[in-house]
Structure 1
């Protein structure tokens, strides 16, 4: 009795030969140089757009401190013309005007911190892990300082001190807050401006490029060091794995597009 089944393996050798020919054509095709990929990444660099808001908020902070000193000295401590204060502030007391301005400044700083966190997280996803870690605490420090100042202002209001002492301590809190928070915000602005001007490639690409020019390379930031804590190493590895997944997906799309063009 003869078998009438379909010839399952009849087209096997020809299919394998065609498949191998296609694979050889892809392998033997024009390779993409590392310099071309690096230049493409450099052209696609996305700056962190937080310098202008941070600089604008720094200017507002300076104006607020100056106006608060003027209001506290002229309108509350009675060292100036009181009719000017009444014409400008109306029925609002000088201390209340200073507190209202502080709340407004704190709200602006909160919005700026959320804005900065959003763009820094995007920079982290694009592979700029070192920049993200360098500015992680720096961008949050001004908000923490202003929040601590708000607590001290509430404490002064609850103590119900004499008017002169209350205003003097309030201006002192604003002065200390300015001396600590304003340099941090200014330093953050300088760091972001330097990052935008460098237009560097992601950290992994920088390490690969440095290894290509050196025969014996030192351990990179992705490895374990004796002085590094385990939590820091795990965090670096998690950031690197997340970036490499997205980076490999992007490179695969570029390779397919360039292969299709050739």
Structure 2
């Protein structure tokens, strides 16, 4: 009997110790939702590709203007052959335009890689809506310039007369500019708005709207249309990836706080 009483006493003390440890963790000061949102806004990391898109648009406009000047002065023989030979040397004017077009395509390829890198980082930080909104614009400039390269190859392979060849070359460059420039400007505006809003991740925004909704009704989940199954699955995959990143970040913060105290 004494051993049984001793065992009960030890078990009760161990339970009390465990409970006291749990209560010490739970009874700590809670952080308000407003403080969390303000901290998230302070830690906001913008997407720096708006400046890159603006610079690429400027380079594209300058390239088209210089190409028109070279074509008119050096290819169409407007009486400036001595100036062209002094500046370009033995290289022909249309070859210079083609070389410049290749260089511009490489810049667009580098910009596309940089844009995808920063968008993937924004996706990992929980900005899934911004990632989906700008996903259609990621490959569009590179697609336009690649299509322009194909058209240039077709014109060069056709072996037309120099005058027709030059006019077709300039028409392709102008059409490429008219298509690619609005895409880059639209993308720059979207990124600038995103950086100016400094919004919290999508999950935090949804939680905040659900907690402070006027109606107090539970939020609808799932989907209503069978055709949206792929979109729902994609959203869930993005959300799971973000939650993994968020949990790792919270674990590192808890370890740092534990080390400080």
TM over 0.5: yes
1:246 matched to 2:245? The reply is: yes
Structure 1: how far apart are the matches of 2:37 and 2:157? 60
Identify the residue that residue 134 of structure 1 maps to in structure 2: 133
Task: Name the structure 2 match of 1:91.
Answer: 90
Matches within 5 A, 1:46-57: 46-57=45-56
Question: For residues 243 and 186 of structure 1, what CA distance do their matches in structure 2 show?
Answer: 29
| TM-score, normalisation: structure 1 | 0.90
Structure 1 segments unaligned to the other structure (5+ residues): 1-6
Aligned residues: 254
Matches of 1:200 and 1:186 in 2, distance apart?
A: 22
1:153: how far off?
0.6
Q: Deviations over 1:34-75 (max 9, x none)?
A: 111111111111111112221111110000000011111111
Deviations 1:141-167 (A, max 9, x none): 011000000011111111111111111
- Alpha carbons 1:139, 1:185 under 8 Å: kept: no
Structure 1 residues 156 and 130: alpha-carbon distance in aligned structure 2, compared to 1, 3 A threshold: same
Counterpart residue number, 2:102? 103
User: Paired residue for 2:143?
Assistant: 144
Give me the whole-angstrom Cα distance separating, in 1, the residues matched to 2:61 and 2:7: 82
Counterpart in the other structure of 1:173: 172
Structure number with the higher helix fraction is 2
Q: Which moved more, 1:12-21 or 1:109-118?
A: 12-21
- CA distance in structure 2 between the aligned counterparts of 1:192 and 1:10, rounded to whole angstroms: 65
Task: Using the TM superposition, give the Cα deviation of residue 170 of structure 1 relative to its aligned residue in structure 2, in angstroms.
Answer: 0.7
Structure 2: state its 5+ residue gaps: 1-5
Q: String of CA shifts for 1:197-235, please: whole Å, max 9, x gaps.
A: 111100011111111121136646xx3242852221111
SS in 2 for 1:116: helix
SS of aligned partner of 1:31: coil
Shift of 1:17: 0.8
CA RMSD across the alignment: 2.2
Deviations 1:176-216 (A, max 9, x none): 00000011011111111111111110001111111112113
Q: Give the corresponding residue for 1:200.
A: 199
Residue aligning to 1:22: 21
